[in-house]
Amino acid sequence: MSVQALNAQYLYYLLKYPLLTKSITSGILNGLNEIVSSVLTNEYQETSIFGMKVKHIFSSKLLKMIIYGSLISTPISHNMYSVINKNFKAPLTPKQKVLQLLTSLLTVTPTLSVCFVSWISLINNYAPTKGTNICGELKRIVYTIKMGLKKGLPPVLRSSLVTSFLALIAAQKFVHPDLWVVFFSLIYFVLGTFQNTKLKRLQKQQKLKELDKKDI
């Protein structure tokens, strides 16, 4: 099957099953995001096969990133962009384009940034403990997210705002509104890989500092 035929088939499914197609696309890209960032931060898993230790990148984090892309970020962005595009229908005047741009930057970008940092913080720094009650676990979850947002949100939000601003200008000119989520998924694959790698390194440094404090 040619590339053109594959592209036509993808667009057909995108129009017929928009949310499902976008979710699958985003899930795959987020999985690749985790694979690349794990390699860049030397975060390998070890499995023993016939007495030999084999390093690999397949872990529960990989599955969790796929879940994030397909079941969390995509439904949020799909519905938020649907509302924005319903309120700003083409053809847009220059003033409407600016308003559309600002609306997206002030709503979609911060929402997705908070979700991304919170999710990354949980999968990197939280693990359920035995014998702890539900209230105790909820407190640990809230604390983990709070610390993650405190350290990780400012740089993620800054880079997301700049990237989203440039991507939105391009999308307004060249991309059909129905393809916005897919377009931004590709953009955020590159940005997300960079952000995920940066967060992994920051959180590793944080863990090392905490271990050093315990040793003192």
Per residue in 118-175, pLDDT (tens digit) is 998 998 888 888 777 888 899 999 999 999 999 889 988 998 899 889 988 998 888 8
For residues 108-124, average pLDDT: 92
With b meaning 16 or more CB within 10 Å and e meaning fewer, what string describes 82-120?
bebbeebeeeeeeeebeebbebbeeebbeebbeebbbbb
Q: Give residue 161's domain range.
A: 3-215
pLDDT for the residue 216 = 59
Instruction: Give residue-wise pLDDT tens across range 8-48.
Output: 888 899 889 999 999 999 999 989 988 888 888 888 888 88
CA 195 and chain centroid, separation = 9
Rounded Cα gap, residues 26 and 184, in angstroms: 10
Beta carbons within 10 angstroms of residue 42's beta carbon = 9
Residue 51: pLDDT band by 50, 70, 90 thresholds?
A: confident
pLDDT for the residue 48 = 80
Phi, psi of 56 (to 5 degrees): -155, 170
Q: Flag whether pLDDT at 196 surpasses 70.
A: yes
Query: What is the share, in percent, of the chain residues with pLDDT greater than 90?
Result: 36
- The residues, ordered by sequence, that sit 6+ positions from 172 with a Cβ below 8 Å of its Cβ are 92, 97, 100, 101
Of 57-71, 80-94, 193-207, minimum mean pLDDT range: 193-207
Beta carbons within 10 angstroms of residue 37's beta carbon = 24
**Between these two residues, 70 and 5, which has the higher pLDDT value?**
70
Residue 80's nearest CA partner among 190, 188, 181, 192 is: 181
What single-letter DSSP state applies at residue 70?
A: I
Q: Flag whether pLDDT at 208 surpasses 80.
A: no
Per the structure, how many domains does the chain have? 1
- The residues, ordered by sequence, that sit 6+ positions from 20 with a Cβ below 8 Å of its Cβ are 13
Instruction: State both tokens at 157.
Output: 């939000």
Rounded Cα gap, residues 20 and 136, in angstroms: 36
Of 2-6, 101-105, 162-166, minimum mean pLDDT range: 2-6
pLDDT for the residue 205 = 79
pLDDT for the residue 53 = 83
